[in-house]
Chain A
Amino acid sequence: MAEKVWFITGASRGFGREWAIAALERGDKVAATARDISTLDDLVDKYGDLLLPLKLDVTDYDADFAAVAEAHAHFGRLDVVVNNAGYGQFGFIEELTQEEARAQIETNLFGALWVTQAALPFFREQGSGHLLQVSSIGGITAFQNIGIYNASKWALEGFSQSLAAEVGPFGVHVTLIEPGGFSTDWGGSSALHSTELPDYADAHAAAAASRAARYSSPGNPSATSDVILAIVDADEPPLRIFLGETPLATAKADYASRIAEWEKWQHLSSAAQG
């Protein structure tokens, strides 16, 4: 298989770093972006010219277009664009400040949207390309104390599914990667937390217990690399794929519960048709 050229945002740690290393290890070329480019120094030392480190804050629209163009000019093509940069904003809906809510959407949704827009003209011209959007089981179902994160990932899911229909005719693939709980820094040092309202003290305890139960056996991030390589090498990659053992059952249970509720109220839905 011919080597691929990747563009990966948020490559300083977590999945982004794992997948950049996996691609480089097999001889692919990678444009790796990070807000702090020094986090990529060890990869530059190890992989040399295979790696193009780029300083990028994905919330900067113009900088996203410039970074994608630079990667394309440097390597001569772009095969896989991975929108991985993102973080979790914890907080009950009532606790979120305007700045916290907007910043979560800026990074997780608009950052991915701008990079996607920057890549599309190159993909269309090539007649090929693969966008990997790092979503989450939290982009399929929702949990208390993380509603604005859910909003950002659900939004990513919605536009990416629509996008797949828009760019399929040009030979461009879109895959939503939906991890369950993994032992990345996602819920730790990468996460942000709103100031807690006293009235929600009991709710915070309940939310923490519920989260602990969901993440009782987190996955190993390095085990995801082979799966990512299999997805980008597939002739017909999926629109959606989970990472981990638990998401499928979680999603099926949520969908079944939604359908049961919609069916229960279907008499009203039909009456509303007029």
Chain B
Amino acid sequence: MSGNPETGNSEAGEPVTGKVWFITGSSRGFGREWATAALERGDRVAATARTVESIADLSARFGDAVLALQLDVNDRAAAFEAVAAAHKHFGRLDVVVNNAGYGHFGFIEELTEAEAREQFDTNVFGALWVTQAALPLLREQGSGHILQVSSLGGIVATYPGLGMYHASKWALEGLSQALSVEVARFGIAVTLIEPGGFDTEWSGASALRSERLGAYDEIRAEQSVVRKQTLAKGGDPAATAAAVMAIVDAEHPPLRVFFGSAPLRLVKREYAERIAEWEEWNDLAVAAQGQ
């Protein structure tokens, strides 16, 4: 889907009417793909990364259409400052993408206190702080779109070894579903983007891993086989850019959308299994109601 045909060329210094984006975690993965796609169609992007050098090439290529911001989303005050700086610089904010995040691999018993907290800090609180910072600005405009990068793992959690990552993405899902009801009255849309497996560095260089307990080695080995089978069918991150543009250009964007062809089938099966179990035990559930 193309952007606004009246979008100007910021490099030529002409007035621009395209969208203004704020994208966290723009150094690599989906954040980088989407920042590049938005810039290529003439939108303007405040791109954040923990090290601003990692997005210097975007500034070199797209000039004034990019505002490169150093940001660790764990820092609430810094998140508020970055969002305010972006709004002041471009004069408005249309699309806020909470993309910064990573996967922490480890069985529940293996997680240290620090590992568990850090996973939640980045994947949930980071997104919450940026969201809170953007809301007053979006409410004042009477428009805006918050994209939360969730995961198929934010909907299902049937596999071992990723429990804290699941916790973080499920939390983002619950928070964002509530948020969507809260801010619809102000003209603000919320969309949870739920990718299946993609060939980003998510499970490679970006991932963190707990120290292993021998007791779980057997289950870990079985799980490793399952993971390799899943990753063999990884999607192409570059193909997601057009989908993101279609979502931000939609008049009525969805609350949830999968990226990848496989998640829908998996989730329908998982939901059917949950409902079957709840129904099997529903006599007890109703008995618990009492008088």
Contact = CB atoms under 8 A, between A and B. Distances in A.
A230 interface: yes
A266 to B, nearest CB: 6
A264 interface: yes
Would you call the interface of chain B mostly helix, strand, loop, or mixed?
A: helix
The size bracket of the interface on B is 35 or more
Interface stretch (B5-13, B52-60, B201-209, B274-282): B274-282
B242 interface: yes
Given A61-B113, A203-B185, A116 B284 contact: no
Interface in B221-236: 235-236
A93 B288 CA distance: 32
Nearest to B233: A273
B171 interface: yes
A230 B258 contact: no
Given A158-B166, A271-B242, A144 B181 contact: yes
Contacts, number: 272
Interface stretch (A33-41, A46-54, A102-110): A102-110
A109 B237 CA distance: 32
Contacts of B254: 261-262, 264-265
Given A146-B178, A158-B170, A263-B264, A268 B247 contact: yes
Contacts of B281: 238, 241-242
B288 A224 contact: yes
A226 to B, nearest CB: 7
B158 A240 contact: no
A202 B185 contact: yes
Interface stretch (B15-23, B85-93, B127-135): B127-135
Contacts of A238: 277-278, 280-281
Contacts of A76: none
A239 interface: yes
B179 A93 contact: yes
A116 B117 CA distance: 15
Interface stretch (B37-45, B62-70, B95-103, B104-112): B104-112
A220 B290 contact: yes
A186 B219 CA distance: 38
Interface string A69-113: 000000000000000000000001110101001100100011001
B177 A110 contact: no
A224 B289 CA distance: 7
Contacts of B256: 258, 261-262
B156 to A, nearest CB: 8
A173 to B, nearest CB: 13
CB-CB nearest 9 A-B residue pairs:
A223-B290, A274-B239, A274-B236, A220-B290, A158-B170, A154-B174, A147-B178, A158-B166, A150-B174
Interface of A: 61, 92-94, 96, 98, 101-102, 105, 109-110, 113-114, 116-117, 120-121, 124, 138-139, 141-148, 150-159, 161-163, 165-167, 169-170, 179-180, 199-200, 202-203, 219-224, 226-227, 230-231, 238-245, 247-248, 251-252, 255, 258-259, 261-266, 268-274
